[in-house]
Amino acid sequence: MKIRKLLTELLVVTALLAGCSNANKGSSPSKESPESKTNVEGSSKVNVCLAVAGVLTQALTKNPLAAPSILGINSGAVFFAVVAASMPNVLPPVSIVWARLGVAFSSAEVYFLGSIGRDGLTPIKIILAGSAITALFTSFTQGLLVLSESGMKNTLSWLAGAILGRKLEHQKMVLPYMIIGIILVIVLASHINILTSGDDVTKGLGQNKLLIKLFISASVILLAGSSVAIAGSIGFVGLMVPHISRFFVVEDHRWIIPYSAVMGASLLLLSDISARFIIMPSEAPVGVMTALIGAPFYIYIYIYIYIYIARRSLRGEK
């Protein structure tokens, strides 16, 4: 009953925030209202997908610091999308496909680099590999934009994590893939619980660990790739939201996933409202606001994990 009550309260808060955002848009000229509404609705979908993708990456890597933006997944998708956008006569669907290819390629690179060595894939190595891939693709993207001044003007705000200028037709192109990814995650929720319980439990229950990981990876590609294709690189959403959800519910992904989806949309609405008031009458990119919140949160999680590991080492635990 307590869980249901908390979920209901979150839904009410989200509805109130949506009402505040709509009221703010209503005070602007009527010709801007449809575009603003499209931006908020599209950004809500994007943050839902990024939050759920964050849950999946943390479960897949068993690393509390994992997120699409930290593991280089977003930067790879951004680079591939910019490459597609710099080509002449490229339609939006092609950029969306290239963004998904970027997610798949960068994920494979991070997994390969993190698996090198005798110890195999470890939480520390995968974070280091993700940081290296992020720096690599970010430098590639910046170099490509310097060579193409027209592309730089068109994608600069998008790179900061903004959905401004994206029409409803662009969102409709990725909506089916987002829905498929969400449905796949809901079906896999109970299997993710088994996967995070350890290899011995997974084998004892007769689960195909490789097949589950492949389906989880496919979901991340669908969700993160579609999100980046629409809104660019919005960071720290996939890191913050899963941890906040675990604070309210037990370690059960059948609850963590829907909570993260609701909180992802709520975080977007808070960021969108803040972005509208900081540099009025202009609007700051939503990615800037999520970074202002997410960077201190990332430092807090890192320090908390460091202290936790240090205490376990002093007690002689592994």
pLDDT at position 217 is 87
Two structure tokens written together for 28: 């602007």
Which residue is listed with tokens 């939480």? Answer: 123
> What is the torsional sign of CA 11, 16, 18, 19?
positive
pLDDT at position 236 is 83
Tell me the mean pLDDT per 10 residues along the chain, length 318: 50 45 42 52 77 90 83 85 75 71 86 81 81 89 76 64 65 84 91 84 81 88 84 82 86 89 83 75 76 84 76 66
pLDDT at position 84 is 80
- What pTM does this model have? 0.79
pLDDT at position 15 is 42
pLDDT at position 55 is 92
Determine phi and psi for 166, rounding to 5 degrees: -85, 120
User: How far from 7 is each of 47, 86, 185, CA to CA, in Å?
Assistant: 18, 44, 19
How far, in Å, CA of 125 to CA of 131, rounded? Answer: 10
Amino acid sitting at position 105: F
pLDDT at position 25 is 44
pLDDT at position 184 is 92
How far, in Å, CA of 309 to CA of 318, rounded? Answer: 9
Two structure tokens written together for 300: 């807090």
User: By C-alpha distance, which of 150, 276, 144, 161 is closest to 230?
Assistant: 161
> What is the torsional sign of CA 175, 47, 30, 91?
negative
In CATH, which of 1.10.10.10, 3.30.300.130, 1.10.3470.10, 1.10.3720.10 is domain 41-310? 1.10.3470.10
Determine phi and psi for 61, rounding to 5 degrees: -90, -10
